[in-house]
Amino acid sequence: MADQVGTARKDRTIVNQGLNYLSFHMMSSKMVHFEVFPWRPNPDPVKFIIHKDLLDRYAPDFPYFRVAGGPPTQLKSSSDDGEAYRYDYCDPAVFRGFVHWLYTGKLPTADDIRKFPYPREWDEGKENEPLAVNMAFELYIVALELKVLALNNATMSFLFDYYTEWQIVPSMDRIRSVIHDLEDYEDEPLENFLVDICYRVGDKNLADTRMTNWKEYMDMSLNIDTSFLLAIYRRHCMVRLNGEEFAEMNKEDYLVE
């Protein structure tokens, strides 16, 4: 994970005070502590505190989380006294977005995200999506691991609306990142959506006959799993042989029950 934007105080404890989605008076005083460790080598954890009632409601399997290709695994305590759960390989900005959603029922906006440090690649390099879109992609993975189905649907609905409204496809880097995150999961709605939007909309840059950076695209595509490219070709064959109805995209097809 890339370095963070701005300077953040170490060992922060985050408690969301805006209890808009559920009234404070409806919740018990029982809290759950998390220590979130990003991808960086030897990182300092960021601490979060969440009302247990919210986890009971939206992540009923907690403290078990989903492991690709294996049985559910229990989150381990990050301290000897067992007071905090350790959540690895998650940027604190993303987990903060998860907390924001739990307490407000809404995905973070770009303005919400800018209030705290977030990954540099969300602003720089080849990651061209707006901040809220980057956050939605990352939150989908958190929701998948913690089995928060409502958040899976919220992020999927947001991404569907965004890409179908603007008639664009995600960046090649983003597609590669998502495929890597989902490589051990089967028939994930997000990957199916990426296949369909790439087939239905296409990359306008690749369609440009005057394209001068073809080698750059080729270099990036070499890092994409061939099964993803095969899935796009399969969709082409389905439409070609069975009719245009197989090219239609309906949001409900990408949501989970």
Q: Where does CATH 3.30.710.10 sit in the chain?
A: 1-166
pLDDT tens readout for residues 9-36: 333 344 444 444 445 546 778 899 999 9
* Mean pLDDT, rounded, for 193-213: 72
The CATH homologous superfamily for domain 1-166 is Potassium Channel Kv1.1; Chain A (3.30.710.10)
Binning pLDDT at 50, 70 and 90, where does residue 126 land?
A: low
- Residue 14: what pLDDT? 41
> Cα separation of 154 and 233, whole Å?
28
Cα(102)–Cα(57) distance, integer angstroms: 10
Tell me the average pLDDT across 174-184: 88
* Residue 29, burial from CB neighbour count under 10 angstroms (0-12, 13-18, 19+): exposed
Q: What is the pTM of this model?
A: 0.80
**CB atoms near residue 137 (< 10 Å):** 19
Residue 134: pLDDT above 80? yes
